[in-house]
A and B are shown apart, each in its own frame.
Chain A
Amino acid sequence: MRGGHDLGGRQGFGPVDPEPEQEPVFHDDWERRVFAMTLATGMLGQWNIDQSRHARERQHPVAYLEQSYYENWLAGMERLLIEAGLISEEELRSGTAEAKCGKDLRIPDAEAARKILTSGGPAAREIEAPPRFAVGSEVFVRRRHTSGHTRAPDYVQGCRGLVRGKHGAHVFPDTNSSGDPQAHHLYSVEFSSRELWGGDAESFEVLIDLWEPYLALADDNGA
């Protein structure tokens, strides 16, 4: 979806404000707790990372842009908890539990949480279909207007690039975000700054990871 989060090439945000290297990881205690709650509730297995990203992206774009990063995480987590039926809107409003959660969930303790963090959750999958594109293929990013989650940023849609690398098949965010963990081949695709932004742009290259369904051979003109 083309929400407030799809920021590549947007203008008017002003200069970057680099923090000193030694800035603390968290700037306030509530950030610490929101970060930890987001990870801990994610460990309940009721949603995946793409559903979690989509929950943040579905906010009103003005809210997304006005809020700080962890405020967006908080808003996304509240939405996920309600949509998964783990808490009710009324409980969120009142802050008081009306009933124990009816689902049979395994709640990680400290040791289990540490183990989940150090084990990770790889996104690579083996699939039977061979990759359609090869390193060196000239490809075209299909234009697609969807209210669903996607990892094809708006600024590359409709542009031509060159396949520079293949990462094998990875879980496909566009279907995973609705609970269908399909996997498709993932490519590293290079775009020239002129292709993305026109002739007056600074000269540079952008490399983006794009899944096969986002792409067509440039010769097919995006068919």
Chain B
Amino acid sequence: MTSDHSHLPSETALRAKALESLLVEKGLVKPEALDAIVETYQDKVGPQNGAHLVALAWTDPEFRRRLLADASDTAAEMGYFGRQGEHLKAIENTPEVHNLVVCTLCSCYPWTVLGLPPVWYKSAPYRSRAVSEPRSVLDEFGTELPENVTVRVWDSTSEMRYLVVPMRPAGTEGWSVEQLRKLVTRNSMIGVEPALPPEQVAP
């Protein structure tokens, strides 16, 4: 699969448009339903949901315990439930273990907490190499881990969906959940980068 997404032939755009007209004409889809689906994943569901859970886990030990024990129910309590998040597992990064998530067979991704995956996550370079040379992949994201850290790669082959809980950055003592969630990036919850250092956002 090409990771180049910016020069697609307009032939594909025409083909998609023709199919949509055909489906509407045959009464198989309603345009308003298509708009509702787009709106859900473009504007509503996204990594801000996962960032909220992570920031809560950083500040509330009981929430952290529940999130790690049963992420599906804990996320659902916060209103984050639905398609591609039915069976959620949170995995925590520690000074000893660094977790990384991939789907080598397609593009499985926890939609309810991260939204839709970025292009690189679905691309052949990431899918092929995350399970065979993860440290080289992490290098390409500028993430260098000490030699003694165990790298643990989760290949999402089932309907289980994985959310990485990154380590809380040093220097954020006393920060509120609202401040902390700005440090939790999408990439940190896939496991390719750490959370942002505090100086990168205004507290």
Contact = CB atoms under 8 A, between A and B. Distances in A.
A110 B41 contact: no
Contact of A37 (B20, B46, B118, B131): B20
Interface stretch (A11-19, A132-140, A215-223): A11-19
B27 A56 contact: no
28 contacts: A7-B104, A10-B128, A19-B120, A23-B119, A25-B46, A26-B42, A29-B13, A33-B38, A36-B34, A36-B37, A37-B29, A39-B37, A40-B29, A40-B34, A53-B105, A56-B106, A68-B4, A71-B8, A97-B25, A101-B27, A117-B83, A120-B81, A167-B158, A186-B158, A196-B132, A203-B151, A204-B153, A209-B156
Nearest to B136: A202
Most B C-beta atoms less than 10 A away, residue of A34, A120, A211: A120
Contacts of B26: 86-87, 91, 97, 100-101
B123 interface: yes
A201 interface: yes
A87 B22 contact: yes
A33 B192 CA distance: 29
Contacts of B106: 5, 53, 56
A73 to B, nearest CB: 10
A72 B157 CA distance: 19
Interface residues of A, number: 99
Interface of A: 5-11, 13-19, 21, 23-30, 32-37, 39-41, 43-44, 49, 53, 56, 64-69, 71-72, 74, 77-78, 81, 86-87, 91-92, 95-97, 100-101, 105, 107-114, 116-124, 151-153, 155, 167, 170-171, 186, 188, 193, 196-197, 201-211
Contact of A122 (B87, B125, B126, B132): B87
Interface of B: 1-6, 8, 12-13, 15-23, 25-30, 32-38, 40-42, 46, 81-87, 104-107, 112, 115-116, 118-120, 122-129, 131-137, 140-141, 150-160, 185-187, 192
Contacts of B158: 123, 151, 167, 170, 186, 209, 211
Contacts of B185: 21
Closest 5 CB pairs of A and B: A209-B158, A8-B104, A110-B36, A123-B159, A204-B151
Contacts of A28: 5, 8, 13
Contact of B42 (A10, A17, A32, A110): A32
Contact of A16 (B46, B81, B115, B137): B137
